[in-house]
Amino acid sequence: MLLFSNVTFFIFGPLMMFLMHPYVQKRSRYIYVIFILFTVVGLFSMYFHMTLSFLGQMLDEIAILWLLASGYSIWMPRCYFPAFLGENRPQYLCLVITATVVSTFLAFLRPTINAYALNTIALHVVYIVAQEYKKTSNKELRHLIEVTMVLWAFAFTSWISDRLLCSFWQWINFSYLHSIWHISITFPYGIVTMAMADATYEMPDKTLKVCYWPWDTWPMGLPYVEMSDDKSC
């Protein structure tokens, strides 16, 4: 079940790269790196859970760290930058890369806390998204954020329960919570949420619309964005 849940990384990564291609061409081609890293996370996660080795653990966690750092670098709104940077994104990018390189080396010192540290970073992303939810009046974005937060809360609760109540779940012979954590549908929703929020600041002359693959009429699908140049349309 756990290895099967990793297959979604190999599906969603390339598919999102294809679906988001027009947006990436307008915003930044570095976004392709995020989709590649997402696929790499799936590969390293599969290797780790097949071998349960220290090398596998470190590859898995370091790939997640760089995936989060890439998202921070591209989509973090300038208004949340540290005050000493002003709104200078190149300097912010240097800061993120430096912090990520240092964190990569520190990850080898206390590997038992790596997962908690990564989820702390994720909590900060949730905070940023919550702030954007308060600011926006865009109903489409608000709905997207709501769905993303529910998916993330469900996945995070599954991870916490798997960590803290492992013996209980084993006792009742229910060992699927970690697999639920691995199912990666939260990632595409998070990507599109950040892209929509980012467009408010970085692409004010563009109109972004949330679409869902394979059909918009499905109650839940794989989200992506379509865009047009005329904001008034």
Q: Which pLDDT score, from 0 to 100, does residue 214 have?
A: 86
Is residue 25 assigned to a domain? yes
Q: Look at residue 148 and tell me if it is in a domain.
A: yes
Residue 128 and residue 193 in contact, taking contact as beta carbons nearer than 8 Å: no
Residue 17 belongs to domain spanning: 1-228
Helix axes 139-164, 186-202, angle to 10 degrees: 140
Q: The domain spanning residue 117 has which CATH number?
A: 1.20.1070
pLDDT at 33: 95
- pLDDT tens-digit series, residues 41-74: 989 988 887 888 999 999 999 999 999 999 999 9
Residue 101 three-state SS:
helix
Give the annotated binding-site residues for Zn(2+).
49, 178, 182
Confirm whether 84 is domain-assigned.
Answer: yes
Would 233 be classed as within a structural domain? no
Q: Count Cβ atoms within 10 A of the Cβ of residue 131 and give its class: 0-12 exposed, 13-18 middle, 19 or more buried.
A: middle
pTM: 0.87
64: which 2 tokens? Answer: 């997640």
Is residue 20 in some structural domain? yes
Structure tokens belonging to residue 16:
């999102």
- Does 139 fall in a domain? yes
Give the pLDDT confidence score for residue 193 in this predicted structure.
93
Specify binding-site residues. Answer: 49, 178, 182
> How many CB atoms within 10 Å of residue 174?
9
Q: pLDDT tens-digit profile of 124-139?
A: 999 999 999 999 988 8
pLDDT on residue 233: 38
Query: What pLDDT does 231 receive?
Result: 53
Mean pLDDT by 10 residues, the chain (233 residues): 68 92 93 94 87 92 93 93 92 95 92 87 90 91 91 81 70 60 74 92 89 81 82 46
SS3 209: strand
Number of domains present in the structure of the chain: 1
Q: Could you tell me if 121 and 114 are in contact, meaning their C-beta atoms sit under 8 angstroms apart?
A: no
Q: Which residues contact 223 (CB under 8 A, 6 or more apart)?
A: 144, 188, 189, 192, 210, 211, 212, 213
pLDDT, position 232? 46
